[in-house]
Structure 1
Amino acid sequence: MMKLSLILALLSVSGGSGLRVTSVSGQDVTLTCKYDIKTNTARPVCWGRGDIPSSGCNNQLIASDGSQVTFGGGASSRYRFLGRLQDGDVSLTVLNVSETDAGRYGCRVDIYGWFNDEAHHIDLSVERAPQTTRSTAAVSGGSGLRVTSVSGQDVTLTCKYDIKTNTARPVCWGRGDIPSSGCNNQLIASDGSQVTFGGGASSRYRFLGRLQDGDVSLTVLNVSETDAGRYGCRVDIYGWFNDETHHIDLSVERAPQTTRSTAAGMDGSRTFLLVLLCAGFGVLAALTVVFIVANRPRRKNSDPQVYSQVWFRGGSPGEESHLRGGEGGGGEFRSTVLYSYRV
C-alpha cells in the first residue's frame, strides 16, 4: 500500500505542465480554465493558490458546482467567474491585481470516473504599473503597460475612469497608437451604456467589466499569437485635452500542452502505466508465495515402511515361490523383507 501511494504521489500534477501570465498592478487579469461541457455536462470546479493536490484545491479561492458560486474562507471578493459557466468557461478573473497576487494558481474540474479530473496550474507575475498620463493631442509617445499572456487564454487589458466625477463617458479601443481623436482600427466602443463593434472586428473583443462603474477594460477571448501588439484605450472626458488615454503592449506566447493528472486528471499513458505497475506487483506477490512454499523446510520421517516381502525356498534366494505354502519339494523357506524410508 505504501508503494502504491508513492506511485500516485509521483504521478500527481504538482509537476505537470503549466502556463505563465504576466500582468501589471491595478489591472484585472484572467487565468483561463475551460472544459468540454457538452461531453461532461456541468461539473464542479475550484480554484486555489499553489500546486494542485490529489483532490480539491489548496487554499481555495472560489468554486462552483456547475451553476452556483461559492468563495473560500477569507478569500477576497476580487476573485470572480466572469466567463459563461454554462459554456464550460470557468476562468478566474482577479480584479485590481497587486504584486502580492503573484504566484501559482491551480484550477481543478471534477470529471466523472477515476483519474479523469482536468487540472491546470498557472504562474502569475505582477509588475508595478507606470504612471498613466493624459494626452495633449496624442499619446503615441506616452506611457504604456505591458501584458504577457498565453495562446488559448482570455486576457484582460485594463482601462478605467472615475465615473462618479465624469458621469458615463464614451470610450473606444483600437489597435496601434492612440491618435489625436478616436481610436485607430477600432475594435469596440461604448457611449457609456450601449456597446458597438468596429467594422469587421472579431466578437472575441468584449467589455466584461461593469460599465456603470467606469470599468471599460477590454477582454480578448481565446487569444492567439496574431493578437500580439499594441492596443489603445481612449475615454472621452469633457473639456480640451482632458481625454484619458492608455496604450498596452500585449505579448502572446505559445501554450505548452496541458496534461491530466492521477487523482487530478491523469492522461491515458499514465493510466496505462499505473495499471501495468499494479499488475506487476500482483505477479511479484504470486511469485513470492510460490518461492516461500517451494523452499519450506521438510521434516524427515525415519520410520521404515515395509515395501514388500518375498519368500524363497531351500535357501536358494533365486528360486521364487508364488505362495508361502505353495507347491514344491520340501526344504526350508526363507523370507526377505525389503524396506523403504519415506522422506
Structure 2
Amino acid sequence: MAAATPGSPLALFTWSWIFALASGDLIEITSKSGVIVTLPCQASNSTTITAVEWIRPDLEPEYVLKYQDGQLDLNNQHLSFKDRVELEDSEMKDGDVSLVLRDVTTDDRGTYECHITLRRTNDTVKETVETETFTIKLYVLPLPEFIRAEPGDNVTLACRAPSYTDIRAVVWSRPDLEPRVILYQKRMSDPEHQHLSFQDRVELEDNEMKDGDVSLVLRNVTTGDSGTYECRVIPDTIFYIIADHEPFCIVHLNSNPEPKLPVLRPIVSVVVWTPYFISTLLMVSLYRERLTGRKAAVTMTMPPPSEEGLDGQHDDVYDNVTTEHQF
C-alpha cells in the first residue's frame, strides 16, 4: 500500500478554500459548501489500470463512481452523486484517478475510499493483479444561518442531517457556554449535562428525528440567548468523541432588542410626509387657478352723439351702459 506523504504524488495541492492534510494512508480535506473539490488518488507508475472504485462505506449503495472495462458503470451509483462526480482525468494518465465532486454540501461529508485494480507485467512474472486502496476523509464547512428573534419569542434553530443517516446522538451547544445547551442520545435528552439557562426551554422539533430533522426549538427567548449555536450529529457507524466531532450546522442567533429612537421618529415622519403635503397644496392651488383664472370682460355700449348737445347725453349715459361678465 502506498503511503500518502507530503512529498508523494498523493499529497493534495492546496487552494484558498481547501485545506488538505496528508497523514499516513489517510488524507483529510476541509472544504467550503458550494464549491468543487478534488479527492486525490494516484496509482503506482508503470501499471495498467483495469478498474477504479470510489465508495463511501456508510452509504447504501456505497458506490460514488465506478470505472470498469474501459467505461463508467453508473448502475449502482448512489443517487446523491448523480451528475456531480467525474474522474479528474478520464484517460487516467500517469495513474491519476482523482475524483472531482461538484456543488459540495454538508451531506457529502464522510470517509471516501479509492480502490484501484492494477495489472502489472515484468520480465520475471507474466502478469499480476494487485489492488491499491487510499482513504480520504472529507469535511464540509456548513453555511452559517443568521436569524433574529425578539425577547419572549419562540424560535427554531434549523438543522437537518442526511435522511439515510442512523443518528446515535445529537448535541446542540454554544462555544461560549459550558456545559452544553442540550444533549440527545438514543432519542432521549440528557438534562444532566445541560446548561442551567436552557432547562425546560429547549427540545428537538422532532424527537424521533425523522428524515434527519434535528432542529432545536428554543422557547421564551431572552437577550442572553444571543450567540452562535452549533449542532453535532453523531451517526451510529461512528464512535467519535462528541467534543471532537465537527459541527453539522451553525446558527447565529441575535435576540438583542432593536434600538428605539423615539426622538427621531417625529423628525423622520416630518421629513417623509412634508413632500407629500407640499405637493398636495400645489395641486390644489393650480386647480383653483384654473377655475378662477379667466379675467372679466366688460363691454360698454353707448349711443352715438346727437345734435342735442352734451347735456342730453349725460342724462342717458347710465341707461345705455351694458356690462358683460364672463367667468
Would you say same fold, with TM above 0.5? no
So what's the TM-score if we normalise by structure 2? 0.36
- Looking at both structures, which has the greater relative contact order when contacts are Cα pairs under 8 Å and sequence separation is at least 6? 1
